[in-house]
A and B are shown apart, each in its own frame.
Chain A
């Protein structure tokens, strides 16, 4: 390496390090002025707040760390089933957009068009309004199916409770028994799934349309029906091309789960926000959020790499 480029690099490094030191000194000064202590010790102190819902039994006396873990679990609880739903709906809508039947195609196009062109936050706000304002109150819950009730206070489904497997039924103050999915959780699940599914549908459609037309024609010439040609010839090839963009859509869904903070679903980001307001440890709280999301991105990248390797292995020479 030339000496001059070493000097330039040393200079760049010096400027960046210098800036970081300057930032650190300024920040430390500000924190001292405002009487904010720093460090991650607050994680072991009582959180001082409760979560609206949680898979772990967490209360205000439990440590902040536990609240963060519960927040992360809430993120995963919305994002993982959301991703599965998005994939399913996305594949259906993607096929719909490619269908011969103009009615099906029109319906799928209208869905994709509407859901991709309206901000996710706005969609979440609408779902939340519908689920909390327009639905009947709990004592007049809608009876959707045997044992399934929907009302302002959420969706009650059969589930294991204190007395074993319970089937929800109307009680004195609403619906008793089973498990209740809160409106906040339902909003996240429906909102995330329908938004991402529209993108996944578009990705799949693009992947199928990008295949050389000869593939379909060859399959038809071999006497396959159009549907068989689609399923056995076009789809496997398109799937391979669509895999990277689909994984990136699913990763987006995880990042979008952070919008939970806007409707009061206690995900990781909203727990961090609450804790930040309580302790003033802004740097620490945001570092945790950023670190967790970077870790999730890394894990997703690794999984998608493995998947791609595996699909590529199945590729004919």
Chain B
């Protein structure tokens, strides 16, 4: 009986049989050479002579070992590498904590908001005996994580404020905020990053010179907040009106109603969408390499483009980076399913 069900699923009719054979043929054609390249013929030691001798018949995973520090940490000073690693660990750890449910309820918001602040202090230094490291030197995975975490931490409060503002009874306020949201959602992130890179310095008064990192972070926060505000607004609209009646009947003030009744329910309801936005932002941080900040994608280019010897093994190093991004996205997706705000 079970065999019969299996047979039907693979060879139920002509179309199904054809598909099964097609997929099997493709797998048989592609899998053996792939396995041969990735494992059987591969070299795992960072030995350039052995890798060159392979002539691409096998993967040269040694490139990852050879370039790991540069790819993962960018140009951050080698002596201070522990700070960079600790900063990345804090942010990734907080995500892991929320995704696995170790951190939940009321500790979720501080657990996600504080690590980027600590990471900025750690990376920048300049206090408590830590040597000061200019932001141009920050890079690699810590920068990717920092831009994502700090971007979300900045964009969420702003997004909530904008969502409330768009429900205000003041047409002027509504109009201005609607214009902002539509503008930010209508343009590609690159345009926003170009604005941060070329226009923001013109806008600031003399004597105020922000580093590229902070300008880019401002652009990311403003860009992401527009999307988050739409999510929050949807959550506010979906809230049942009886909740407000009940709060009023209990004598809650307007502020108390929003703080204790509305916002907790809305945030819990839209948590999966917020996590999706975090995933989008995590991937989008790769664009900052276009304005010369060397996060993970940028540091990959930086590590290999100038090195004629190792550059031919770009694909192997690329797979390493892609796996990191993939793992990060899967982790953030876990958060969206973990119902993190549930007490």
From B67-75, B87-95, B187-195, B248-256, the one touching the partner chain is: B187-195
Q: Are A286 and B194 in contact (CB under 8 A)?
A: yes
In chain B, residues 1-56, which have Cβ atoms closer than 8 Å to a Cβ of chain A? 9-10, 12, 15-16, 19-20, 23-24, 56
Residue with the greatest number of chain B CB neighbours at <10 A, chosen from A23, A125, A227: A125
Chain A positions 98 through 128: 1 when the CB is less than 8 Å from some CB of chain B, otherwise 0: 0111111001000000101111111001100
Does B190 lie within 8 Å of A261, measured CB to CB?
yes
Kindly specify which of A9-17, A179-187, A308-316 makes contact with the partner chain. Answer: A9-17
Are B315 and A119 in touch, CB under 8 angstroms? no
Interface size class of A (residues with CB under 8 A): 35 or more
B205 proximal to A (CB < 8 A): yes
Shortest Cβ distance from residue A113 to the other chain B in the assembled complex, whole angstroms: 8
Q: Are B20 and A30 in contact (CB under 8 A)?
A: no
Residues of A within 8 A of B318 (CB): 122, 125-126, 129
Contact call A290/B199, Cβ cutoff below 8 A: no
CA distance A117 to B283 in the complex (A): 8
Contacts of A23 in B (CB 8 A): 203
Report the Cα distance A227→B14, complex, angstroms.
Answer: 12
The smallest beta-carbon distance between B148 and chain A, in angstroms, is 11
* CB closest chain-A residue, reference B21: A103
Tell yes or no: B178 within 8 A of A by CB.
no
Chain B binding site: helix, strand, loop or mixed by DSSP? helix
CB-CB contacts of B164-207 with A at 8 A, as 1s and 0s?
A: 00000111110010000011011111110011001101111110
Query: Are B10 and A103 in contact, CB atoms less than 8 angstroms apart?
Result: yes
- Segment of A138-146, A160-168, A252-260 engaged in the interface with chain B: A252-260
B297 in contact (CB, < 8 A): yes
Check A258 against B170 for contact (C-beta < 8 Å): no
A117-B326, A282-B198, A293-B186 as given contacts; A104 in contact with B23, CB under 8 Å:
yes
Residue of B with least CB distance to A252: B188
Q: A302 at interface (Cβ–Cβ under 8 A)?
A: no
**Is A303's beta carbon under 8 Å from chain B?**
no
Say yes or no: A262-B290 contact (C-beta < 8 A), given A103-B23, A129-B315, A269-B188. yes
Q: A123's closest neighbor in chain B, by CB?
A: B322
Smallest beta-carbon distance A223→chain B, Å: 16
User: Does B329 count as interface, using CB distance less than 8 angstroms?
Assistant: yes
| Minimum C-beta distance from B201 to chain A (A) | 8
Known A122-B321, A259-B287, A261-B290: A133·B23 in contact at CB below 8 Å = no
Between B182, B186, B318, the greatest number of chain A beta carbons within 10 A of the residue's beta carbon is seen for B186
Q: Does B294 lie at the interface of the complex (its beta carbon under 8 Å from any beta carbon of A)? A: no
Q: Which residues of A contact B61 (CB under 8 A)?
A: none
Say yes or no: B169 contacts A5, CB within 8 Å.
yes
- Shortest distance in angstroms between B311's beta carbon and chain A's nearest beta carbon? 8
Q: Is the CB of B314 within 8 A of A129?
A: yes
The closest CB in chain B to the CB of A27 belongs to B202
The 3 A-B residue pairs with the shortest CB-CB distance, nearest first, are: A117-B329, A255-B188, A119-B283
Q: Which residues of B does A touch, CB under 8 Å?
A: 9-10, 12, 15-16, 19-20, 23-24, 56, 169-173, 176, 182-183, 185-191, 194-195, 198-199, 201-206, 279, 283-284, 286-287, 289-290, 297, 301, 312, 314-315, 318, 321-322, 325-326, 329-330
| Further 20 A-B residue pairs, CB within 8 A, beyond A23-B203, A104-B20, A129-B314 | A16-B176, A27-B203, A29-B206, A99-B19, A103-B20, A117-B329, A117-B330, A118-B329, A121-B289, A122-B286, A126-B318, A133-B312, A256-B188, A262-B289, A273-B194, A283-B202, A289-B194, A294-B183, A297-B185, A297-B186
